[in-house]
Chain A
């Protein structure tokens, strides 16, 4: 699977939008972009995924660059509960076994 690069940490204020960047310059045509997050003392949980078009769900939005070499996870209004490590992961469904390969992620801190 192709590699992703994320900032080690970011800070946000409560109720403000948060933009979490991810670079994946070696992405292939069959790589989906997935985001997971891990709250303190919990297992990771799915946030969102996309292939080419921007995606929205109840948790977040995913903005994908036109060349797909970068993407941004957008939390529209950060809450204290959003403090977590956010992982950007590429998954090639062309022939992989489906497991996720985790990088170091971005630790998001939310200030009240």
Chain B
């Protein structure tokens, strides 16, 4: 299994600023993902964080807005850049231990409010 922690747990930010969210896994994992969950909605995949290379972004998400780093097998960051009120969401980090029908583990989420 894997336990995922995220920092910060919540934040209130001003529009135009940027926030970096950290995700730490307690064991080495093969795959890490970032999701967004807007108020009252389901989860939407933002990107797959690839170790040592650029993240793979889903349609509608771009690197300039959501730069992602993954320097090793246990850590990743997501930055929400030049924020607007529409970026107010819960951002969740997720990890899978191996490629296959394995379970995927989720962090508790970072609740972001942009004023």
Residues of A within 8 A of B (CB): 32, 34, 36, 42-46, 49, 51, 87, 91, 93, 97-105
B103 — nearest CB in chain A belongs to which residue? A46
With A49-B103, A93-B100 already in contact, the answer to whether A101 and B45 are too (CB < 8 A) is: yes
Chain B, 21-44, contact with A by CB distance < 8 Å: what is the 0/1 string? 000000000110101000000111
Task: Check if A103 sits within 8 Å of B42, measured CB to CB.
Answer: yes
Within 42-98 of B, Cβ neighbours of A (below 8 Å) are at 42-45, 48, 56, 92, 94, 96
B4 proximity list for chain A (CB < 8 A): 43
- Which residue numbers of B lie inside 8 Å of A, CB to CB? 4, 30-31, 33, 35, 42-45, 48, 56, 92, 94, 96, 99-109
Contacts A32-B101, A43-B109, A93-B100; is A87 near B33 (CB within 8 Å)?
no
Count contacts between A and B, CB distance < 8 Å. Answer: 56
What are 7 A-B pairs at a CB distance below 8 A?
A: A36-B104, A44-B92, A46-B103, A46-B104, A46-B105, A49-B103, A100-B43
Q: How far is the CB of B29 from chain A (nearest CB, A)?
A: 11
The 8 closest A-B pairs by CB, nearest first: A43-B106, A46-B103, A102-B43, A32-B101, A102-B42, A44-B106, A43-B92, A99-B33
